[in-house]
């Protein structure tokens, strides 16, 4: 794992977040954070470790990515709260006909539509 791959994955995570693809964005953020952590643990040479810290202040970059990841998680949580549960299923007969109260008379038929039987 090198710095270019880590930067590329961080960029993809940010782009996905900007495009509204939050699930993919969170996957990239999680991956980048793990990559940084693994890389820091794998480096044994103090000189190489020092260069990594000089190049990007790795701990502050990791902290910034963690904050961005938390922001994406917050957005996803907010969007989930807007989702409404599926409405209850009604029998087909109720969906086809409007509700009619048997105690209420229907509206009168207009005079022009009445049949005249007294000629």
Q: Using 50, 70 and 90 to split pLDDT, how confident is the model at 88?
A: low
Question: Which pLDDT does position 108 carry in this prediction?
Answer: 80
* 3-82: CATH number: 1.20.58.80
Provide the 10 A C-beta neighbour count for residue 56.
15
Q: What would the pLDDT profile of 18-60 be if each residue is shown by its tens digit?
A: 999 999 999 999 999 888 888 777 878 887 777 666 655 566 7
Domain boundaries, the chain: 3-82
Confidence of residue 93 (pLDDT cuts 50, 70, 90): low
The Cβ of residue 24 has, within 10 Å, a number of other Cβ atoms equal to 14
Residue 31's pLDDT is: 93
Distances (CA, A) of 25 to 12, 20, 77: 7, 9, 14
Residues 1-21: pLDDT tens digits? Answer: 677 898 899 999 999 999 999
35 Cβ partners below 8 Å, 6+ apart?
1, 5, 6, 9
The reported pLDDT for the residue numbered 1 is 61
Residue 62 confidence (pLDDT)? 79
The answer to pTM > 0.75 is no
């Amino acid at each position: 794992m090198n710095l270019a791959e880590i930067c590329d994955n961080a960029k993809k995570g940010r782009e996905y977040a900007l495009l509204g693809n939050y699930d993919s964005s969170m996957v990239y953020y999680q991956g980048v954070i793990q990559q940084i952590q693994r890389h820091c643990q794998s480096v044994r040479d103090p000189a190489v470790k020092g260069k990594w810290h000089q190049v990007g202040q790795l701990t502050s970059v990791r902290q910034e990515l963690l904050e961005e990841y938390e922001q994406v998680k917050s957005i996803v949580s907010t969007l989930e709260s807007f989702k409404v549960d599926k409405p209850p299923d009604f029998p087909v007969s109720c969906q086809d006909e409007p509700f009619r109260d048997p105690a209420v008379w229907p509206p009168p038929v207009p005079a022009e539509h009445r049949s005249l039987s007294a000629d």
